[in-house]
Each structure stands twice: as C-alpha cells, then as structure tokens.
Structure 1
Amino acid sequence: MSNPSRVVAVLALALTTQLPAMASAEDLTILAGDLPPMFNADGTGREAEVITTVMERCGHSVTFEIQPFTRHWKTYANGKGDGVATVPLGMPLDGHQSEVYIQYQNGVSSLTEAGASYADLGALSGQSVIAFMGASEILPGLKDAVPSFKSYKEVADQIGQSRMIFGKRVNAVIGDGMIFAEYNRQLRDQADDLMFDPNQGVTFQAIFAPSDYGMNFRSEALTADFNRCYSEASADGTIDAINKKWADQYRDTLGTQYLGH
C-alpha cells in the first residue's frame, strides 16, 4: 500500500498547480489621473471607489497617487507604482492588463433652454462645438463630422468648457457627461465673479458607445485577484450600486443617459 502521507502530499501539490495564483495581502500604490469625479485630488471618486472596493474584497489596501491625466501612464511606465488606472484596452504598457472594470460615457452637453436634441453627430451640423483634447482622434465618426460644424475646437481646460457653454459662446460640448457635470458644479462655487449664470440647466445626451478601461498591474497574481474580485462585486450588485450613487449626484444633467444608471 502507498504511504498515506505521500499520497496526501501528492494530492495537495496537484491541487495547488491547478488553482490560479493569488497575491498575498498588500498595501498597493495605484497611479491615477486627476479627473474628477472619477478621481479627485484626495483619492476619492467614482473610479477610485470601484478600485478600492474590489481590492479590499481581495484583502488588499490601496493608496492612490493622483497625477495629471496621461502623465500617470508615463510614471507607471517609468517603474513607479504597483498598478495604474484607466488604461485603454490594448494600450502597450508594462505589466498585465485586467478585464474591463470601468466605462466612461461620452456624449453631447448643451443648455436645456435651447431645447436642442442631439441624437447623433449629424444633429450638430451648423453648430459651434467644443470637445476635450484629442477627441477627434478617439471618438468614432467625430473627425468626419467636424467639417459640417459651424466651428470646432478642442480645449484642455475642462472648467473652461463650462464657462463657454454657460456664456453661450458655443452650442454644445462633447465629452464625458459626468466629468462635465462635475466641472459645472465646481464653476458654480466660483459664482461671485462670473459674468453669466452658472445655474442654467444643462442636458446630456449619450451619442457614443461607452469607452472601456482596464487596470494594469506589474504582478500577474494581482491582475488575477482584481478580475476575480471585480466579477464577484459585479455579480452581487456592488459595482452597479457605486455607479448609480455617483450618477445620482449629477442626475439633473445626466438624466438616465449615463450608462443607463
């Protein structure tokens, strides 16, 4: 007969080799872009809450290092941090990319009083439009539609976009609806010296497909942890609850257009 201890050891080894690698509990540094309300300067935000919730479910704690958006990718590529957030799928970057964990919803924002219905890019024909930097290279169909606009400009200053729409210098703003709504909120806090009313109603219409993003981790085991724990949090409704909670803060602008939340 076989030695019982030897049989147990062989079975344990077989089971171990069939199970996915799991990372031991760690305090992780995650690089993230300064993009409120997805990531606020203090490390809070919609996306920050999703990541923190998922990693805590896996037994890890998270500290965010907030940098200007896109710089956080470069800092990670230079060897800093355990992981990096908001990475476009397939972007060539070190480490191991997770499955999709967050979506942004780009669309058109305009003053409600104008009564405009921008169901697609064609509806912007003859209108003055501004967008975020690089939008025409990222959003499907936008580059081809630009010649039909009365004017088109890409602006890096997000709160400057809010000034232009409230000051009626443009008809529409193209970008993520929740981000735009947050900068509108920030502008209202500066209302004392404004030459226009920042409390005008704004309506957001989602005319683009949602944009998918993943995480990159240096450790393959951390990536597996993140995917597993995100799947669990999604299945039990935790992720939907976080997204709805953040959408609720901007409901007057977003309606039900932001990812259906």
Structure 2
Amino acid sequence: MYKATYFAAALSLALFQSPAVATADEITILAGDLPPMFNADGSGREAEIISTVMERCGHTVSFEIQPFTRHWKTYASGTGDAVATVPVGMPLGGHQSDVYIQYQNGVSFLTDAGNTYGDLAALAGHSVIAFMGASDILPGLKDAASSFKSYKEVADQIGQSRMIFGKRVDAVVGDGMIFAEYNRQLREQSGDLMFDPNQGVTFQAIFEPSSYGMNFRDAQLAEDFNRCFAEADAEGAIEAINSAWAERYRETLGTQYLGH
C-alpha cells in the first residue's frame, strides 16, 4: 500500500552505517503497526508469513511494532536485525529479500449506497477519504482528486470507518483488508455511536497490488529467508496463510483481495 518516495531522502542519510550482523538465533524484526498485517501483539497476516518462513530456516523471531514508516527510520538508525514491509527498491540499507507479500489497494463503500467504483474515474463527483500520503503513492490518484466532490487524507484509519458509516464520505481509498479490520474494531467498541457500524461494506480493487520485501543486515539471513520462502510457497503454505486471513473479512472483500 505504501511506497517510499518521500522517505528516501531522509533514510539515505543513515546508509553510511556499518550493518550489524545478527548472530543470535532470535531475530528482531521491526514492523509497522498495521492491523491485521501486524497487530500490536506481534500477530497478523504478515507476521505469520515471516514467522513461518524464518522458523522453517531454524530461526525464531520477535517483532518490535512501531508506527508505520517510523519502523523504517528506526532500522536506518541501526536498530534491529531486519525490517518488514519495505517497498521494492527502497534505499534502506542492508540486503533486501525477494517479494514475500502484497497489499491490495482499492475503494471501499457502503453496499446499500447503490454505487460501484470500477476505477478512479468513477469517483468523480463523490466525496473520498484516503490514508495519509495516498495521493503521492497510488498511481493516478493525485490527478483524479480534482474531479472528486471532496478529498481528504487522514492518519487515523479507524476515523475512516467512522466517516463511511456516518455517511460523511462516499468512498474510502486504501488497502481493503486493513480497512475491513478497522471496521471490525469499531463494531467492538463500547459506548453509543451516532451511526450503525454493522452496515454492509463492499471493497473493489482498482490498483495493481503493492509488493514488499524485507531488509536484513546479515546477507546470510536474507538468503535463508528467500530460500525458505520459496520452499514454503511451493508447498502451498503461503497461499494457505493469505487465504485464511482473507476469509476472516470475506463479507467485505469478496474475491477482490489478490484473488483470495
């Protein structure tokens, strides 16, 4: 869902550092707080993939969860053995793995609203909200935004759920699984809400999937990860993890999330 165009300059300042080689069996991995990819307790779709792969190689992992994008900067400063969810080609130092996960961005909207959004042009004349920095990241969004009735980017993603259920916006642009998880969290909140959080939501994929790798300070760990990921993928373990997580949000995602 994210690329590093506007973080690259700051991060490149830290690349002069000599990488520390991890020698312990337990690998510390920096990860962004992006439920359900990474939850605060270190669980999640992406966490499960990484743990499965590393354990196959004989390594155990511990995740240090930080606000998304900060985890890149923390790694660049010299902390941790590896960092997750790195856009392909991002100049972050160390050794980048092969692609191990994809996110799927698209449009989420109230099912009963009677609209459908097959592409960005279909959003013309509608009120749209997106994650912070989306217009610099998602292809075509910045140019299309001028045709929207209104367009706003917010860092508080559960706030996006509040706005769609409260009918303050027509559509939310972002990763479908992440949005569905925040909807789930909102439904579980106690207290009176001024809207019905149980309204049906539909997700439609309109962007190409975003691919991510991991960066390791130790080249051997990167090689291990690539080898063990390929083995796990060939055996169907990665597909099984992705499908199981998509199934949790089937009511919203349908079959739009990476075909799962």
State yes or no: 1:103 paired with 2:111. Answer: no
Amino acid at match of 2:207: F
State yes or no: 1:69 paired with 2:76. Answer: no
RMSD: 1.1
Amino acid at match of 1:93: L
- Residue 84 of structure 2 aligns to a residue whose secondary structure is strand
Q: Name the structure 1 match of 2:156.
A: 157
**Rounded Cα–Cα distance in structure 1 between residues aligned with 2:64 and 2:189:** 27
**Rounded Cα–Cα distance in structure 2 between residues aligned with 1:227 and 1:156:** 33
Give the Å deviation of 1:190.
1.4
Q: Name the structure 2 match of 1:256.
A: 255
Q: Name the structure 2 match of 1:54.
A: 53
**Rounded Cα–Cα distance in structure 2 between residues aligned with 1:93 and 1:211:** 18
Give the Å deviation of 1:94.
1.5
> Structure 1 length as normaliser, TM-score?
0.90
Give the Å deviation of 1:254.
0.2
Give the Å deviation of 1:192.
2.9
Amino acid at match of 1:129: V
Deviation digits for residues 85-132 of structure 1, max 9, x if unmatched? 000111111100001000000000000001211000000000000000
User: Contact 1:37 / 1:46 at 8 angstroms: preserved in 2?
Assistant: yes
State yes or no: 1:203 paired with 2:218. Answer: no
Q: Name the structure 1 match of 2:8.
A: none
Deviation digits for residues 202-234 of structure 1, max 9, x if unmatched? 000000000000000000000000000000111
Matches within 5 A, 1:36-55: 36-55=35-54
Amino acid at match of 2:28: T
User: Contact 1:106 / 1:177 at 8 angstroms: preserved in 2?
Assistant: yes
- Residue 136 of structure 2 aligns to a residue whose secondary structure is helix
- Residue 81 of structure 1 aligns to a residue whose secondary structure is coil
Q: Name the structure 1 match of 2:138.
A: 139
State yes or no: 1:221 paired with 2:220. Answer: yes
**Rounded Cα–Cα distance in structure 2 between residues aligned with 1:125 and 1:248:** 31
Q: Name the structure 2 match of 1:180.
A: 179
User: Contact 1:191 / 1:198 at 8 angstroms: preserved in 2?
Assistant: no
**Rounded Cα–Cα distance in structure 2 between residues aligned with 1:118 and 1:253:** 15
Give the Å deviation of 1:66.
0.4
Which one has a larger percent helix, Structure 1 or Structure 2? 1
Number of residues paired by the alignment? 239
**Rounded Cα–Cα distance in structure 2 between residues aligned with 1:115 and 1:186:** 25
Structure 1 unaligned spans of 5+: 1-22
User: Contact 1:108 / 1:207 at 8 angstroms: preserved in 2?
Assistant: yes
Q: Name the structure 1 match of 2:246.
A: 247
**Rounded Cα–Cα distance in structure 2 between residues aligned with 1:246 and 1:108:** 19
**Rounded Cα–Cα distance in structure 2 between residues aligned with 1:112 and 1:191:** 24
**Rounded Cα–Cα distance in structure 1 between residues aligned with 2:102 and 2:157:** 19
**Rounded Cα–Cα distance in structure 2 between residues aligned with 1:139 and 1:70:** 16
User: Contact 1:25 / 1:59 at 8 angstroms: preserved in 2?
Assistant: no
Amino acid at match of 1:185: R
- Residue 213 of structure 2 aligns to a residue whose secondary structure is strand
Give the Å deviation of 1:54.
0.3
User: Contact 1:96 / 1:218 at 8 angstroms: preserved in 2?
Assistant: yes
Q: Name the structure 2 match of 1:88.
A: 87
Deviation digits for residues 151-186 of structure 1, max 9, x if unmatched? 000010000000000000000000000000000000
**Rounded Cα–Cα distance in structure 2 between residues aligned with 1:217 and 1:193:** 46
> Structure 2 length as normaliser, TM-score?
0.90
Give the Å deviation of 1:191.
5.0
Structure 2 unaligned spans of 5+: 1-21
**Rounded Cα–Cα distance in structure 1 between residues aligned with 2:199 and 2:208:** 27
Among all aligned residue pairs of Structure 1 and Structure 2, give the percentage whose two residues are the same amino acid. Answer: 79
Higher Cα Rg: structure 1 or 2? 1
